[in-house]
């Protein structure tokens, strides 16, 4: 009879070895084959090696002479040994220096399933290479089984939530989009909600710690499984390494396995706690509720049977299911082995821990299943019985759509399994536990079923936002619209015109303008022969527009989204709004610079966000300072980039960066440190700098001090200089700045960092045309301003109106034509109005109160017959009767229109 098992080829260039294929070979579920070209290469290599006549006693001159002992396999399981030998064989086939003797020796052991003698050795394989293969072999088993366990454990936890009728509010997690959310924790919570979707059982009981911690514990396990898979995949398809490099490889693999062991211990503990809780408090109750007694005697009998089942199953759980103290003891053993660098024993113990946790989760699944389906299986459901009805338990409460499909699958599989000559409970336990055994042929079917339930029916899956983006609800949009209206009003007050530019530009337009931040530009796929990128800010597109249109003077504002190819941390986004104001052209010296600072203070004052300060410096002063300190001119920009980090890092950290990475001496760095600590009131610090001869003798810094003096006088006269701090540590890393640079920082409780920034850029526009047009501008980081405004409203318990509706037209009945007539009149009079048609008056009043609509127009049968309408002041709860013909005039008068 032909062998139907899958054929796995080793050493082939076109096929990569996977954890699942190694697992199948290790458990004789797949056949082994060796690539013919790899075998011929090994034979050739072996011949060359034999011709060299290297002495077999000189291990230092040729690694081929070293032989690894098989005794190291003695403490491993047959599965672990075979997996390790498969990986070692594959590494030898991929290696250019392997011997045919070692390949033949290993292939015979694997193909014939022979256990080698402890005295035997593998010719030409160093102990270090063998150790790497051993750890990699066990890691492969762990990779395959843990990835399956990650899926199964989530499904079992969902069944337990049904059995416990647990509070699942801990699963209501959303990705914030700014990098501060744990991806796998949210993913686990989402999958569990899919499985439990539609359940009427959950959320019936109080919070259960072993349920509330599921997203975090399972999420961490999922994260480490992914890390293990990534590392194992590398080892599966790499050749043998030098004996000297093997220890580092083994140590790195075991570091990942240690994290896996911690995650497994936590997973096993909460699984056992859920199983114990189900057995102790729910099995007897649930089976009792599932009965439909026809008379008192059968009811009493049912209670007695369920109590006996609970007692019998509890005893079996205590006797056969691994306990937390056993988990703890095994974990302590592997910690000790890791500490003593007994890495093979350590890896074996981690695998034993995985098997123990698999058993605990199988018992948890059985406990949940008996709680939900005990009546059918303890009461004697038979093969062929109709089991297609929706599962209902516990007071006729349905379980979720996903868990229903899973329970139905388990029922069908169990009912098709043979009945052994033991008790009903014993038969159920044996069949159920075998169903969850990874080596069982039905396990892959179960695994696929769970994945199908989670992945199918996308309407049940919670959609996910891309990282670094977010939605804005109606209340948040109300805050944004208010802020935008204030910002636009300030910009227009200063004579600016609106401008809009494309969301993407030619890539060449953006590159080379942002210094080290150019790596954050979002490139787009080539379309139509043009290389494009999403705009990084609004300043460079503005400069391109001015140059393209030959403008020599332009004052503009723009509010639009920009994009950063960043890995967002908390409070940072990849898509966000900027509000820009720029003045391009030749004007009185420093007056445009003064105006943009004045605009910044007006914006922040009128947005009413609280205390802030505007840090200010001058790029020429900064360059002069660097020259005075001895920094080479070619390093000015990169050192500025380092200095710009001083608001987030200490000077010692910045100094290490300047010295170790950017090549400055300690003396130069210390001189820079002296100056960048200078900050204070603008006029006072300016006076201090003017007393420093070195600054006056440097052309760049001298010019900067003269320009700052003009601007500070203007800021004094306009009464906003008290908001400004002269700060020599402000550097602004963007390459295009040439003069004044500034940054606004919020000083309140919310830690949001910079909320606005800008500066002078006299050479940027000239990059796109033949004429240099000087310019200065400001950009408001509106996302951070919104965060502050929202927090302030929460702190003040202010409720936000999502709409501006002034009147609700309420028709007490079903006359839609009348609703259209009345609301149409109000709309024509420019009144902001909505309508509602419902027979119950309280529905209308609740709608008005919830939406904070100040006025209602109520019309029922009496009002229609008398030719009047009832006008209601919702806040004051006062009613007015108004003639139908005067409705619009009366409302407009009350609204002051």
Domain for residue 731, yes or no? no
Q: Are 618 and 739 contacting, i.e. CB atoms less than 8 angstroms apart?
A: yes
The pLDDT assigned to 243 comes to 55
Domain for residue 729, yes or no? no
Dist. CA 502–CA 489, nearest whole Å: 24
Token reading at 103: 């390949």
Rounded to an integer, the average pLDDT of 672-680 is 86
Token pair 């509602």 in the structure block, residue: 836
Are 657 and 773 in the same domain?
A: no
Sign of CA dihedral 435, 437, 440, 442: positive
Least confident of 315-319, 464-468, 576-580: 464-468
Are 488 and 602 in the same domain?
A: yes
Phi, psi of 813 (to 5 degrees): 160, -140
- Where is mean pLDDT largest: 228-242, 578-592, 790-804? 578-592
Token reading at 307: 């109590």
The residues near 583 (Cβ < 8 Å, ≥ 6 apart) are 554, 555, 592, 595, 596, 775, 776, 777
Least confident of 247-261, 493-507, 521-535, 536-550: 521-535
CATH code at 821? 3.40.50.800
| Cβ burial, residue 39 (10 Å; 0-12/13-18/19+) | middle
Q: Is residue 395 pLDDT above 50, yes or no?
A: no
Are 579 and 549 in the same domain?
A: yes
Q: Are 546 and 773 contacting, i.e. CB atoms less than 8 angstroms apart?
A: yes
The pLDDT assigned to 244 comes to 53
Token reading at 613: 């300060």
Are 118 and 156 in the same domain?
A: no
The residues near 727 (Cβ < 8 Å, ≥ 6 apart) are 615, 616, 617, 678, 679
The pLDDT assigned to 682 comes to 93
The pLDDT assigned to 303 comes to 53
Dist. CA 606–CA 785, nearest whole Å: 12
Q: What is the pLDDT of residues 617-640, one digit of tens each?
A: 998 998 888 888 888 888 887 888
Dist. CA 246–CA 823, nearest whole Å: 80
Domain for residue 702, yes or no? yes
**Quick one: pLDDT band at residue 295, thresholds 50, 70, 90?**
very low
Q: What share of the chain is helix, strand, coil (3-state, %, to 5)?
A: 55, 10, 30
Phi and psi based region of residue 529 (left: phi greater than 0; alpha: psi -120 to 50; beta: remaining)? left
Q: Are 707 and 618 contacting, i.e. CB atoms less than 8 angstroms apart?
A: yes
The residues near 503 (Cβ < 8 Å, ≥ 6 apart) are 534, 535, 560, 561, 563
CATH code at 441? 1.20.200.10
CA 889 to chain centre: 55
The pLDDT assigned to 733 comes to 60
Which has more confidence, 896 or 100? 896
Which has more confidence, 744 or 637? 744
Token pair 């001496």 in the structure block, residue: 665
Q: Coil, strand or helix: which one is 14?
A: coil
The pLDDT assigned to 111 comes to 77
Q: Are 88 and 133 contacting, i.e. CB atoms less than 8 angstroms apart?
A: yes
Q: Is residue 837 pLDDT above 90, yes or no?
A: yes
Least confident of 30-44, 171-185, 657-671, 829-843: 171-185
The pLDDT assigned to 452 comes to 84
Q: Are 50 and 318 contacting, i.e. CB atoms less than 8 angstroms apart?
A: no
Rounded to an integer, the average pLDDT of 385-402 is 56
Report the candidate in 767, 757, 769, 750 with the shortest Cα–Cα distance to residue 733: 757
- Where is mean pLDDT largest: 310-314, 391-395, 430-434? 430-434
Token reading at 243: 């004996």
Domain for residue 351, yes or no? yes
Dist. CA 426–CA 316, nearest whole Å: 9
The pLDDT assigned to 378 comes to 57
Angle at 571 between CA 567 and CA 574, to 5 degrees: 40
Q: Which 8-state DSSP code applies to residue 813? A: S
Dist. CA 615–CA 744, nearest whole Å: 6
Are 568 and 643 in the same domain?
A: no
Q: Coil, strand or helix: which one is 717?
A: helix
Distances from the Cα of 106 to the Cα of 123, 135, 760, angstroms? 10, 17, 72
What are the residues facing 555 on neighbouring strands? 583
The pLDDT assigned to 120 comes to 65
Q: 724-727 and 612-618 as β-strands: parallel, antiparallel, unpaired?
A: parallel
Phi and psi based region of residue 756 (left: phi greater than 0; alpha: psi -120 to 50; beta: remaining)? beta
Report the candidate in 114, 54, 127 with the shortest Cα–Cα distance to residue 81: 114
Buried-state track 87-112, b at ≥16 Cβ within 10 A, e below 16: bbbbbbbbbebbbbbbbebbbebbee
The residues near 458 (Cβ < 8 Å, ≥ 6 apart) are none
Rounded to an integer, the average pLDDT of 532-536 is 92
How many domains would you assign to the chain?
5
Are 570 and 429 in the same domain?
A: no
Which has more confidence, 221 or 377? 221
Are 108 and 163 in the same domain?
A: no
Token pair 């150790």 in the structure block, residue: 131
Q: Are 558 and 499 contacting, i.e. CB atoms less than 8 angstroms apart?
A: yes
Domain for residue 635, yes or no? yes
Which has more confidence, 816 or 240? 816
Q: Is residue 114 pLDDT above 70, yes or no?
A: no
For 337, the domain range is 137-289+305-376+397-453
pTM of this prediction? 0.57
Domain for residue 519, yes or no? yes
Q: Is residue 290 pLDDT above 50, yes or no?
A: no
Report the candidate in 81, 121, 74, 77 with the shortest Cα–Cα distance to residue 102: 121
Are 501 and 640 in the same domain?
A: no
Dist. CA 740–CA 594, nearest whole Å: 10
Are 767 and 688 in the same domain?
A: no
- Of 76, 94, 124, the domain-final residue: 124
What are the residues facing 506 on neighbouring strands? 532
Report the candidate in 767, 766, 741 with the shortest Cα–Cα distance to residue 754: 741
Are 97 and 210 in the same domain?
A: no
**Quick one: pLDDT band at residue 528, thresholds 50, 70, 90?**
confident
**Quick one: pLDDT band at residue 710, thresholds 50, 70, 90?**
very high
Q: Is residue 429 pLDDT above 60, yes or no?
A: yes
The residues near 876 (Cβ < 8 Å, ≥ 6 apart) are none
Run of H or E including 144: helix 127-164
What are the residues facing 150 on neighbouring strands? none
Q: Are 624 and 698 contacting, i.e. CB atoms less than 8 angstroms apart?
A: yes
Are 633 and 508 in the same domain?
A: no
pLDDT, the chain, mean: 82
Domain for residue 594, yes or no? yes
Q: What is the DSSP string of 752-812?
A: --EEEEEEE-SSTGGGGSSS---EEEEEE-HHHHHHHHHHHHHHTT----S----EEEEES
- Of 794, 813, 830, the domain-final residue: 794
Dist. CA 647–CA 661, nearest whole Å: 20
Token pair 């390949």 in the structure block, residue: 103
Q: Is residue 250 pLDDT above 90, yes or no?
A: no
Are 81 and 211 in the same domain?
A: no
Dist. CA 502–CA 550, nearest whole Å: 19
Q: What is the pLDDT of residues 312-339, one digit of tens each?
A: 778 888 888 999 999 999 999 999 999 9
Which has more confidence, 49 or 220? 220
The percent of residues above 70 in pLDDT, for the chain, comes to 83
Dist. CA 589–CA 210, nearest whole Å: 69
Rounded to an integer, the average pLDDT of 182-192 is 87
The percent of residues above 90 in pLDDT, for the chain, comes to 37
Q: What is the pLDDT of residues 368-393, one digit of tens each?
A: 988 888 766 655 443 334 433 434 44
The pLDDT assigned to 463 comes to 66
Domain for residue 391, yes or no? no
Dist. CA 351–CA 138, nearest whole Å: 7
Least confident of 414-423, 430-439, 806-815: 414-423
Q: Which 8-state DSSP code applies to residue 645? A: T
Least confident of 238-252, 345-359, 431-445, 651-665: 238-252
Dist. CA 119–CA 438, nearest whole Å: 33
- Of 762, 794, 826, the domain-final residue: 794
Token reading at 76: 């491993």
Q: Coil, strand or helix: which one is 52?
A: coil
Distances from the Cα of 828 to the Cα of 817, 832, 833, 868, angstroms? 16, 10, 10, 20
């Amino acid at each position: 009879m032909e062998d139907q098992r899958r054929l796995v080829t080793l050493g082939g260039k076109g096929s990569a070895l996977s954890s699942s294929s190694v697992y199948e070979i290790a458990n004789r579920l797949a056949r082994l084959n060796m690539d013919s070209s790899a075998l011929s290469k090994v034979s050739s290599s072996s011949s060359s090696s034999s011709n060299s006549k290297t002495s077999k006693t000189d291990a230092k001159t040729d690694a081929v002479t070293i032989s690894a002992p098989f005794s190291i396999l003695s403490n491993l399981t047959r599965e672990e040994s075979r997996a390790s030998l498969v990986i070692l064989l594959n590494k030898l086939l991929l290696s250019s220096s392997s011997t045919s003797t070692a390949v033949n020796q290993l292939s015979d052991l694997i193909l014939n399933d022979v256990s080698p003698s402890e005295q035997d050795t593998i010719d030409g394989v160093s102990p270090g290479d063998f150790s790497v293969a051993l750890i990699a072999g066990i890691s492969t088993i762990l990779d395959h089984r843990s990835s399956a366990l990650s899926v199964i454990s989530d499904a079992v936890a969902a069944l337990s939530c049904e059995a416990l009728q647990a509070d699942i509010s801990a699963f209501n997690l959303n990705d914030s989009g700014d990098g501060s959310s744990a991806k796998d924790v949210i993913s686990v919570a989402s999958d569990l909600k899919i499985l439990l979707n539609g359940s009427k059982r959950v959320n019936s009981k109080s919070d259960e710690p072993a349920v509330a911690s599921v997203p975090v514990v399972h999420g961490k396990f999922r994260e480490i499984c992914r890390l293990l898979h990534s590392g194992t995949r590398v080892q599966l398809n790499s050749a043998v390494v030098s004996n000297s490099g093997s220890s580092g490889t083994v140590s790195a693999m075991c570091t990942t396995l240690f994290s896996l062991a911690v995650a497994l211990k936590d997973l096993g503990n909460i699984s056992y706690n859920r199983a114990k809780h189900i057995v102790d408090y729910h099995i007897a109750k649930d089976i009792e509720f599932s009965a439909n007694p026809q008379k008192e005697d059968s009811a009493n009998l049912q209670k007695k049977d369920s109590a006996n089942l609970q007692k019998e199953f509890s005893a079996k759980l205590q006797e056969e299911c691994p306990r937390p103290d056993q988990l703890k003891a095994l974990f302590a053993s592997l910690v000790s082995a890791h500490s003593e660098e007994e890495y093979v024993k350590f890896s074996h113990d981690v695998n034993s821990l995985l098997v123990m946790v698999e058993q605990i989760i199988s018992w948890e699944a059985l406990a949940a299943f008996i709680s939900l389906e005990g009546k059918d299986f303890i009461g004697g459901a038979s093969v062929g019985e109709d089991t297609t009805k929706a599962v209902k338990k516990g007071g006729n409460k349905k379980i979720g759509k996903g868990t229903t499909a899973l329970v139905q699958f388990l029922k069908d599989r169990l009912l098709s399994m043979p009945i052994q000559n033991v008790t009903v409970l014993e038969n159920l336990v044996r069949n159920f536990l075998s169903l969850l055994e990874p080596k069982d042929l039905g396990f892959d079917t179960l695994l696929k079923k769970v994945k199908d339930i989670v992945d199918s029916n996308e309407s049940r899956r919670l959609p996910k936002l891309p990282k670094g983006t977010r939605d804005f609800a109606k209340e948040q949009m109300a805050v944004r619209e208010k802020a935008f209206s204030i910002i636009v009003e300030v910009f227009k007050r200063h004579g600016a015109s609106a401008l809009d530019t494309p969301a993407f530009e030619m890539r060449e337009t953006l590159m080379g303008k942002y210094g080290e931040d150019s790596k954050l530009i979002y490139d787009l796929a080539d379309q139509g022969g043009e290389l494009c990128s999403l705009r990084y800010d609004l300043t460079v597109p503005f400069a391109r527009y001015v140059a393209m249109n030959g403008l020599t003077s332009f004052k503009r504002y723009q509010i639009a989204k920009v994009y950063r190819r960043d890995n967002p941390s908390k409070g940072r986004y990849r898509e966000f709004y900027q509000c820009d104001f720029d003045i391009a052209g030749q004007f009185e010296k420093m007056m445009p610079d003064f105006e943009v600072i004045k605009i910044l203070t007006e914006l922040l004052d009128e947005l009413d966000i609280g205390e802030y300060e505007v840090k200010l410096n001058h790029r020429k002063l900064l360059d002069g300072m660097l020259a005075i300190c001895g920094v080479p001119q070619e390093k000015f920009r990169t050192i500025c980039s380092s200095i710009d980090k001083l608001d987030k890092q200490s000077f010692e950290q910045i100094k290490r960066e300047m010295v170790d990475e950017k090549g400055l001496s300690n003396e130069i760095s210390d001189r820079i440190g002296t100056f960048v600590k200078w900050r204070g009131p603008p006029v006072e610090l300016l006076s201090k700098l003017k007393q420093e001869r070195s600054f006056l003798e440097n052309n760049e810094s001298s010019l900067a001090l003269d320009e700052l003096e003009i601007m500070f006088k203007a800021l004094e006269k306009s009464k906003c200089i008290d908001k400004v701090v002269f700060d020599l540590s402000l550097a602004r890393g963007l390459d295009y700045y040439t003069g004044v640079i500034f940054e606004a920082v919020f000083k309140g409780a919310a830690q949001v960092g910079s909320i606005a920034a800008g500066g002078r850029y006299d050479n940027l526009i000239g990059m796109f045309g033949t004429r240099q047009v000087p310019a200065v501008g400001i950009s408001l980081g509106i996302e951070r301003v919104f965060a502050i405004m929202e927090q302030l409203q929460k702190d003040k318990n202010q409720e936000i109106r999502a709409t501006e509706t002034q009147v609700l037209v309420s028709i007490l009945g079903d006359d839609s034509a009348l609703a259209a007539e009345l609301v149409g009149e109000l709309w024509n009079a420019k009144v902001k109005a909505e309508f509602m048609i419902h027979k119950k008056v309280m529905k209308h009043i609740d709608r008005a109160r919830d939406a904070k609509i100040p006025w209602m127009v109520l019309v029922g049968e009496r009002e229609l017959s008398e030719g009047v309408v009832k006008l209601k002041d919702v806040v004051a709860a006062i009613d007015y009767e108004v003639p139908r013909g005067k409705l619009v005039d009366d409302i407009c008068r009350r609204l002051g229109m």
